[in-house]
């Protein structure tokens, strides 16, 4: 009998081109997403060495990080250039590179344009049992569909463009099991924040996570995308869900998904992609779903998680000296005091968007809280940035855009927006944002910006109350 | 890649844990299409503090950086490694590194030396006044005071660093194997062999 294998090991084994004596493997990469920020130096490297892109047909490029989220075309339908000279040059470089190397491209005015990690699944570019990379750490998101997906640096982008492979060492495996039904008002975002709060930001380093248990089996694909997206925030380069009937139903009919007899053959193989009975994980974490409440972050690391009913911790409560020092620094940066109730923290900015929480289910959930209400008078700016043009169109067809705009939100064009402070959407220094994004690092949303990571419904609750608030008090059961 | 064997000189005693890639190089610096020139944006927010180690004349221009756990966590931006390179940092010593950062550092010939916290504490002390010596071949970190700490490194990475090897060139030499793999996948799992028609 063959040794029982985990899901990760099965997909890994199917992609080994060559195993070297020291255990390093040459791994084939099935899908490669490319964006404007981490690719120019890679294409330049190819050009200098006279190399080609080996498999443009397995590559898909789309700009998302530095694109402004304001109108992209004028009244005459003409494309509006990016005002920022460096941003414009980076986009121009991407457009030159995809043309020169023959890489398929979705441009800024194409309705299919969006955040790489939203359009991959949406187009059926992401498939179960594949290996997938992108020069962006949130590539982990695609693991929601059962792909080994991970972020790479620009040198690796160049390596994949030239060879369609990467030299890798197999990771260790970590099981994160959550069992039970999520409580009222508790969302996939709260689940992943809970996980990171418990493991810490380095808890998954060197590991690939597999999310198991009934909570994840019952979770929608979009919810799973939110969870896998933040695997990297716990240090794991990838997070995986075993593909199931929900995965197949989500993918069927997507433009780049297999069709006809190939679809049937694909599904038959995908069904074999489960962790075998008796397979061993190197590490395990168990969480009871009943223990998870709506969560918020209080500090400047995604591991700084507390329930919305909780308070800012006392740095002295941490046993580790370096964590104590980090917490003191974080409170100073965040302008918070120990013992302060999280619900008493007022915010001036709301950001609903990012590759973590900008899909249709996220927008529906936020809109359900917003409907019939208005943002608080103290809110200076509230943004809703759909993850793709198709998400935007769907939301508009459902009237969600009107719910948001009538409540005082700005309804924007798709892109990474205020998640990372490299396009015009930023939070001013010293001001505070309830954000559905993935990182609360110092300066992440702009120099001096203070970020509290929350779910879409919690961002909505903060918007209408003007402070971090327990959304359960605003929702009807 | 240039060959790497010895890194010797002063060290920035930073010591901070969870130094994320946004701290190393903020997003506003990522709008470049070049690998060089990012040193001026490195650790920008930290350098607002007049007492920062980077602008301390005792450490300016040091080739080594000493940090706490989980150095380089966060984003995959290779700009973090390019920024370190551009400011002249050739080695980072820490108790642990994020996976993506250590890969990016390696591709740029920057050593990521993992040592236990006790060794880090000692080196932080030494770095206040004296140089540190890293020998990749011997896999050791030494000081003028007879301290000697051994570190582990992946043998493949060590070979590449010491030989200054072009990894893409090495892989392209395997083109036949890659082609054979592609032919097998086309037969076994035809649905993955073409994404974009």
Residue-wise pLDDT tens digits, A78-124: 999 999 999 999 999 999 999 999 999 999 999 999 999 999 999 99
State residue A1's pLDDT score.
60
How many residues make up chain A in this entry? 477
Predicted confidence (pLDDT) per residue in A278-296, tens digit:
999 999 999 999 999 999 9
- In angstroms, rounded to a whole number, what is the distance separating the alpha carbons of residues A227 and A224? 5
Structural domain boundaries of chain A? 7-168, 172-238+267-291, 295-473
Contacts of A447 in chain B (CB under 8 A): 26, 45
Between A221-235, A315-329, B108-122, the lowest mean confidence (pLDDT) is in: A315-329
- In angstroms, rounded to a whole number, what is the distance separating the alpha carbons of residues A139 and A150? 5
Q: How far does B140 lie from chain A, in Å, by closest CA?
A: 21
**Which among B74, B156, B174 is the nearest to A137, CB-wise?**
B74
A150 within 8 A of A133, measured Cβ to Cβ: yes
Contacts of A28 in chain B (CB under 8 A): 178, 181-182, 185
- In angstroms, rounded to a whole number, what is the distance separating the alpha carbons of residues B36 and A376? 45
pLDDT bracket for residue B166 (50, 70, 90): confident
Q: How far does B10 lie from chain A, in Å, by closest CA?
A: 24
Q: Does A440 touch chain B (CB under 8 A)?
A: no
Helices (H), A74-151: 85-101, 116-123
Angle at B71 (CA atoms; ends A207, B160), nearest 5 degrees: 75
A7-168 and A172-238+267-291, same CATH topology: no
Predicted confidence (pLDDT) per residue in B71-116, tens digit:
999 999 999 999 999 999 999 999 999 999 999 999 999 999 999 9
For the domain B6-165, what is the CATH superfamily, name and number? Aconitase, domain 4 (3.20.19.10)
The label of the residue with tokens 């940035």 reads A385
SS3 A255: coil
Q: What is the mean pLDDT of residues A360-376?
A: 98
Please give the biggest Cα pair distance in chain B: 64
pLDDT bracket for residue A208 (50, 70, 90): very high
- In angstroms, rounded to a whole number, what is the distance separating the alpha carbons of residues A156 and A70? 32
- This model of the complex carries an ipTM of 0.94
Nearest-Cα residue of chain B relative to residue A429: B45
CB contact under 8 A, B104 and A153: yes
- In angstroms, rounded to a whole number, what is the distance separating the alpha carbons of residues A155 and B81? 11
From B146, B185, B107, B143, select the one nearest B10 (Cα to Cα): B143
CB contact under 8 A, A90 and B155: no
Q: What is the mean pLDDT of residues B56-82?
A: 96
From A129, A187, A170, select the one nearest A27 (Cα to Cα): A170
Q: Is the pLDDT of residue A412 over 90?
A: yes
Q: What is the mean pLDDT of residues A346-362?
A: 98
- Strand order, beta sheet including B148-150: B6-9, B132-135, B140-142, B148-150
CB contact under 8 A, B177 and A169: no
Predicted confidence (pLDDT) per residue in A167-193, tens digit:
999 999 999 999 999 999 999 999 999
What percent of chain A has pLDDT above 70? 100
Instruction: Record the tokens describing residue B98, joined without a space.
Output: 């994020």
Please report the residues numbered 356 through 385 in chain A whose beta carbons come closer than 8 angstroms to any beta carbon of chain B: none
Q: What is the DSSP letter of A240?
A: E
pLDDT bracket for residue A22 (50, 70, 90): confident
For A123, A362, A410, the CA distances from A358, given in Å and listed in that order, are: 16, 6, 14
What percent of chain B has pLDDT above 70? 99
State residue A322's pLDDT score.
84
From A439, A100, A295, select the one nearest B77 (Cα to Cα): A439
SS3 A337: coil
Q: Does A234 touch chain B (CB under 8 A)?
A: no
From B85, B86, B1, B75, select the one nearest A37 (Cα to Cα): B75
Contacts of B36 in chain A (CB under 8 A): none
CATH architecture of the domain formed by A295-473: 2-Layer Sandwich (3.30)
The secondary element (H helix, E strand) that includes residue B69 is: none
Q: How far does A223 lie from chain B, in Å, by closest CA?
A: 22
Which of A51, A83, A132, A153 is the best residue to mutate to test the B interface, defined by the most B CB atoms within 10 Å of its own CB? A153
**Which among A41, A84, A163 is the nearest to B33, CB-wise?**
A41
Nearest-Cα residue of chain A relative to residue B178: A17
In chain B, CATH 3.20.19.10 sits at 6-165
- In angstroms, rounded to a whole number, what is the distance separating the alpha carbons of residues A470 and A190? 12
A386 within 8 A of A353, measured Cβ to Cβ: yes
A25 annotated ligand binder: no
Which listed CATH number (3.40.50.2030, 3.40.1060.10, 3.40.50.10490, 3.40.50.300) goes with A172-238+267-291? 3.40.1060.10
State residue A279's pLDDT score.
98
User: Strand ranges (DSSP E) for A304-396?
Assistant: 305-307, 349-352, 381-384
For A198, A281, A308, the CA distances from A194, given in Å and listed in that order, are: 6, 21, 12
Which of B16, B24, B76 is the best residue to mutate to test the A interface, defined by the most A CB atoms within 10 Å of its own CB? B76
CB contact under 8 A, B100 and A137: yes
Q: What is the mean pLDDT of residues A147-164?
A: 98
A134 annotated ligand binder: no
Report chain A's mean pLDDT, rounded to a whole number: 97
State residue B2's pLDDT score.
82
SS3 A148: strand
Q: Is the pLDDT of residue B197 over 70?
A: no
Q: Does A41 touch chain B (CB under 8 A)?
A: yes
Contacts of B45 in chain A (CB under 8 A): 442-443, 447
A416 annotated ligand binder: yes
DSSP string, B96-148: -B-HHHHHHHHHTT-EEEE--HHHHHHHHHHHTTS-EEEETTTTEEE-TTS-E
pLDDT bracket for residue A432 (50, 70, 90): very high
Q: How many CB pairs under 8 A join A and B?
A: 201
Nearest-Cα residue of chain B relative to residue A233: B74
Q: Quick one: how far is CA A66 from the chain centroid?
A: 16
A34 within 8 A of A135, measured Cβ to Cβ: yes
Contacts of A261 in chain B (CB under 8 A): none
Q: Is the pLDDT of residue A477 over 80?
A: no
The highest-level CATH class for domain A7-168 is alpha beta
Contacts of B77 in chain A (CB under 8 A): 37-38, 153
Q: Is the pLDDT of residue A273 over 70?
A: yes
On the CB side of B190, CA atoms within 13 Å amount to: 9
**Which among B30, B172, B174 is the nearest to A37, CB-wise?**
B30
């Amino acid at each position: 009998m063959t040794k029982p294998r985990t899901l990760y090991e099965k997909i890994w084994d199917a992609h080994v081109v060559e195993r070297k004596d020291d255990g390093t493997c040459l791994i084939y990469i099935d899908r490669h997403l490319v964006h404007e920020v981490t690719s120019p130096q890679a294409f330049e490297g190819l050009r200098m060495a006279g190399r080609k892109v080996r498999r443009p047909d397995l590559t898909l490029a789309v700009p998302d990080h530095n694109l402004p989220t304001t109108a992209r075309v004028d009244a005459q339908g003409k494309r509006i250039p990016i005002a920022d000279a460096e941003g414009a040059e980076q986009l121009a470089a991407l457009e030159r590179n995809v043309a020169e190397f023959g890489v398929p491209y979705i441009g800024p005015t194409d309705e299919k344009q969006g955040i790489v990690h939203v359009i991959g699944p949406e187009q059926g570019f992401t498939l179960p049992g594949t290996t997938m990379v992108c020069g962006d750490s949130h590539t982990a998101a695609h693991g929601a569909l059962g792909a080994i997906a991970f972020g790479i640096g620009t040198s690796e982008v160049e390596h994949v463009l030239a060879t369609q492979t990467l030299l890798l060492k197999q990771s260790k495996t970590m099981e994160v099991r959550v069992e039970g039904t999520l409580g009222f008002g508790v969302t996939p975002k709260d689940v992943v924040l809970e996980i990171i709060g418990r493991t810490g930001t380095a808890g998954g380093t060197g590991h690939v996570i597999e999310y198991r248990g009934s909570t994840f089996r019952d979770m929608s694909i979009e919810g799973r995308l939110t969870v896998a997206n933040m695997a990297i925030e716990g240090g794991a380069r990838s997070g995986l869900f075993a593909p199931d009937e929900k995965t197949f139903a989500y993918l069927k009919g997507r433009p780049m998904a297999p069709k006809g007899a190939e679809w049937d053959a694909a599904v038959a193989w995908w069904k074999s992609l489960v962790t075998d009975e008796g397979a061993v994980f190197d590490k395990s974490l168990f969480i009871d779903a009943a223990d998870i409440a709506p969560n918020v972050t209080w500090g400047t690391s995604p591991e700084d998680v507390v329930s919305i009913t909780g308070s800012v911790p006392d740095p002295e409560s941490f046993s580790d000296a370096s964590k104590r020092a980090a917490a003191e620094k974080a409170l100073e940066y965040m302008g918070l005091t120990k013992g302060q109730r999280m619900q008493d923290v007022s915010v001036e900015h709301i950001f609903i968007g990012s590759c973590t929480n900008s899909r249709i289910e996220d927008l529906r959930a936020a809109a359900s809280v917003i409907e019939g209400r208005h943002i608080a008078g103290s809110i200076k700016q509230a943004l809703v940035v759909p993850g793709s043009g198709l998400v935007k169109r769907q939301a508009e067809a459902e009237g969600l855009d009107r719910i948001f705009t009538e409540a005082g939100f700005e309804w924007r064009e798709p892109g990474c927006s205020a998640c990372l402070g490299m396009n015009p959407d930023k939070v001013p220094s010293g001001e505070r944002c309830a954000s559905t994004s993935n990182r609360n690092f110092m300066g992440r949303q702009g120099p001096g910006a203070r970020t509290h990571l929350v779910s879409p419904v919690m961002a909505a609750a903060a918007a209408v109350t003007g402070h971090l608030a327990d959304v359960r008090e605003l929702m009807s059961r | 890649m240039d060959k790497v064997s010895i890194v010797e000189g002063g060290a920035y005693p930073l010591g901070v844990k969870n130094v994320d890639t946004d701290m190393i190089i903020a997003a506003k610096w990522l709008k470049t299409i070049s690998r060089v020139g990012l040193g001026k944006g490195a650790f920008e927010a930290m350098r607002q503090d007049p007492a920062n180690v980077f602008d301390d004349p005792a450490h300016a221009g040091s080739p080594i950086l000493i940090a706490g756990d989980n150095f380089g966590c966060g984003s995959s931006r290779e700009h973090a490694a390019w920024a370190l390179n551009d400011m002249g940092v050739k080695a980072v010593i820490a108790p642990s590194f994020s996976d993506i950062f250590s890969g990016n550092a390696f591709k740029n010939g920057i050593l990521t030396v993992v040592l236990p916290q006790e060794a880090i504490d000692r080196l932080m002390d030494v770095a206040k006044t004296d140089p540190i010596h890293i020998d990749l071949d011997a896999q050791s970190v030494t000081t003028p005071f007879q301290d000697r700490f051994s570190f582990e490194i992946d043998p493949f990475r060590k070979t590449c660093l010491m030989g200054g090897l072009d990894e893409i060139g090495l892989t392209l030499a395997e083109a036949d194997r890659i082609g054979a793999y592609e032919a097998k996948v086309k037969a076994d799992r035809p649905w993955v062999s073409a994404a974009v028609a």
